[in-house]
């Protein structure tokens, strides 16, 4: 019984790092597919161009939401191991990463249908913020 609790406790930090890495890699792969497969066949002359500014404003607002949500992630105590910390902090951290994921996916989708460089720049901003809010940031603060 104790060994299963210890193995679960040990795996928490590794699991959170893998989840964060998967989120970032997923955005990058989606952007590559959008560039190589979808964009060459996109019809850039459509009604979507009129909605691009509003969609990018929504994506930028989603990039700002994690700055409010990171206060929900508890701080690591002095004697607390990374695994113990992530057992209680995984849900708030995931909640703080989800708006960034949404902003990046929305921006890449807009880019793939319009070719808008502003959209890919917003996606890059969302990924940059997501990389800055990596699991190590929450452990070290």
Q: What is the phi/psi pair of residue 116, to 5°?
A: -70, 125
- Report the number of distinct structural domains present in the chain: 1
Average pLDDT score, the chain: 90
How high is the pLDDT of residue 82? 92
CB burial readout 26-54, b (16+ within 10 A) else e: ebeebbeebeeeeeeeeeeeeebeeebee
Domain span at 39: 2-140
Question: 136: how many CB neighbours lie within 10 A of its CB?
Answer: 12
* Confidence label for 8 from pLDDT (cuts 50, 70 and 90): low
CA 132 to CA 118: how far, in whole Å? 21
133 confidence band (pLDDT: 50, 70, 90): very high
pLDDT given for residue 114 in this prediction? 87
Per-residue pLDDT tens over the stretch 101-123 = 999 999 999 998 888 899 999 99
23-46 pLDDT per residue, tens: 999 999 999 999 998 877 777 656
What's the pLDDT band for 100 if we cut at 50, 70, 90?
very high
CA 128 – CA 123 distance, rounded (Å): 9
Q: Using CB atoms within 10 A of its CB, is residue 17 exposed (0-12), middle (13-18) or buried (19+)? A: middle
**Measured between alpha carbons, how far is 133 from 23 in angstroms, rounded to an integer?**
12
Torsion of CA 71, 76, 78, 84, to 10 degrees: 160
- The pTM of the full predicted model, rounded to 2 decimals, is 0.87
């Amino acid at each position: 019984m104790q060994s299963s609790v210890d193995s679960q406790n040990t795996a928490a930090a590794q699991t959170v790092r893998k989840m964060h890495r998967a989120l970032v890699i997923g955005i990058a792969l989606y952007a590559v597919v959008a560039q190589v497969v979808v964009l060459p066949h996109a019809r850039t002359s459509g009604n979507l161009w009129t909605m691009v500014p509003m969609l990018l404003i929504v994506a930028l607002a989603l990039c700002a939401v994690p700055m409010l949500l990171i206060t929900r992630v508890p701080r690591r105590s002095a004697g607390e191991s990374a695994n113990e910390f992530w057992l209680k902090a995984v849900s708030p951290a995931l909640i703080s990463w989800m708006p960034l994921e949404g902003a990046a996916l929305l921006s890449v989708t807009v880019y793939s249908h319009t070719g808008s460089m502003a959209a890919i720049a917003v996606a890059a901003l969302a990924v940059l913020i997501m990389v800055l809010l990596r699991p190590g940031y929450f452990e070290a603060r």
